[in-house]
């Protein structure tokens, strides 16, 4: 059964910044979906929308079905119940997400107690089990966040995310602040726990190589849209959207030493969501843009191998009435 079904999700911040524009996502239990894109493409906004964590005044449209239940239609009491127990988030930068004046064990126990799942003694026991699951000695429960290394703090964040046995974990740049060795350990840990517990995982990163190594499927976002999606390795190694291609060469490929010496940057920045370009939002930076790209946006067109890409060049290769058609939605 589908664990998460996102349909035509749009997010517009107060003031009019269109941060997410018509995104569809689908995720089954046990599936790992990577969301890639440069800073400012709307990845975190999408993650926050899934748990109704966006600031007041933000307009959200579309549908978010979590285990068949419409998150956007929930009353606040139900939203609070679903956070942690239905879906949880591991944020980037654990130092900022943990409370510096509380022991980490108490912070892990808090959601367990809040959700009325246990007595204080049982919450303590569960906290010890969670610490062990994430590879930390139970004695670390009494430590304050500043007494732990960056990798250990991120392990605590993962323990917290798992505390109420959610069905879906969203990891937003979970390894950004960590060195490469620790980064690999944390990624393996997330992968292992998600597989063991048959959870759905949405992992967000600007690094396509990291996502390709961890996830089953990949969605590449640009200016609030999904512009390419498909099996993770295929998208990483053979992207069809010019933005996907640029992103996949911007970072070294794991296991391909030659590529370490040939990363190619992409000139320019993603557009300001207050002032999006006409047509395909990528066209001002696109090395293969045609005149039509300045006026016509593209839907996601099927490519071979279960991939889709929203590019006029892909559309030109696709026979049938869909080719070249403009559509405001993107679909994964």
Ligand X SMILES: Nc1ncnc2c1ncn2[C@@H]1O[C@H](COP(=O)(O)OP(=O)(O)OP(=O)(O)O)[C@@H](O)[C@H]1O
Judged by the rule CB under 6 A, the positions of this chain that interact with ligand X are 13, 17, 19, 37, 39-45, 55, 206, 273
Cβ 254 to ligand X, closest distance in Å? 20
Token pair listed for 254: 């794991």
Put the strands of the sheet holding 200-205 in their side by side order. 87-90, 168-172, 200-205, 32-36, 217-222, 225-231, 307-309, 301-303
Beta carbons of 90 and 174 less than 8 angstroms apart:
yes
Token pair listed for 105: 């064990």
**What's phi and psi for 330, nearest 5 deg?**
-125, 150
Pick 55 or 265: Cβ nearer ligand X: 55
Cβ 55 to ligand X, closest distance in Å? 5
Pick 134 or 212: Cβ nearer ligand X: 212
Pick 104 or 157: Cβ nearer ligand X: 157
Cβ 143 to ligand X, closest distance in Å? 28
Cβ 282 to ligand X, closest distance in Å? 14
Pick 64 or 85: Cβ nearer ligand X: 64
Cβ 17 to ligand X, closest distance in Å? 4
Pick 13 or 144: Cβ nearer ligand X: 13
Cβ 43 to ligand X, closest distance in Å? 4
CA distances for 117 relative to 27, 110, 112, 127, 198, angstroms = 27, 11, 6, 12, 21
Residue with tokens 């067109």: 301
Burial 114-145 (b: 16+ CB within 10 A, else e): bbebbeeeebbebbbebbebbebeeebbebeb
Pick 20 or 189: Cβ nearer ligand X: 20
């Amino acid at each position: 059964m589908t664990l998460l079904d996102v349909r035509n999700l749009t997010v517009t911040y107060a003031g009019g910044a269109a941060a997410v524009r018509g995104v569809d996502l689908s995720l089954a239990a046990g599936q790992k979906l990577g969301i890639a894109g440069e800073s400012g493409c709307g990845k975190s906004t999408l993650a926050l929308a899934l748990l109704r964590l966006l600031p007041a005044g933000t307009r959200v449209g579309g549908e978010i079905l979590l285990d068949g239940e419409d998150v956007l239609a929930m009353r606040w009491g139900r939203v609070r119940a679903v956070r942690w127990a239905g879906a949880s988030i591991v944020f980037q930068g654990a130092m900022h997400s943990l409370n510096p004046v509380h022991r980490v064990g108490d912070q892990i126990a808090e959601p367990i107690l809040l959700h009325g799942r246990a007595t204080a003694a049982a919450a303590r026991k569960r906290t010890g089990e969670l610490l062990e699951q994430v590879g930390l000695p139970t004695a670390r429960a009494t430590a304050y966040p500043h007494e732990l290394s960056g990798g250990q703090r991120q392990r605590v964040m993962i323990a917290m995310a798992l505390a109420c046995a959610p069905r879906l974990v969203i990891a937003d740049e979970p390894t950004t602040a960590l060195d490469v060795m620790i980064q690999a350990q944390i990624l393996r840990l997330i992968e292992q726990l998600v597989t063991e517990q048959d959870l759905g995982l949405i992992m967000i990163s600007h690094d396509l190589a990291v996502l390709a190594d961890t996830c089953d499927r990949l969605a590449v976002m640009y200016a609030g849209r999904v512009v390419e999606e498909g099996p993770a390795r295929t998208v990483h190694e053979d992207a069809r959207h010019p933005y996907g291609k640029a992103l996949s060469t911007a970072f070294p490929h794991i296991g391909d030493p030659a590529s370490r010496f040939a990363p190619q940057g992409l000139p320019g920045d993603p557009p300001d969501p207050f002032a999006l370009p006409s047509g395909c939002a990528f066209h001002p930076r696109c090395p293969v843009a045609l005149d039509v790209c300045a006026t016509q946006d593209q839907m996601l067109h099927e490519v071979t191998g279960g991939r889709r890409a929203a590019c006029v060049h892909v559309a030109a290769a696709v026979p049938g009435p869909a080719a070249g058609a403009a559509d405001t939605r993107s679909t994964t």
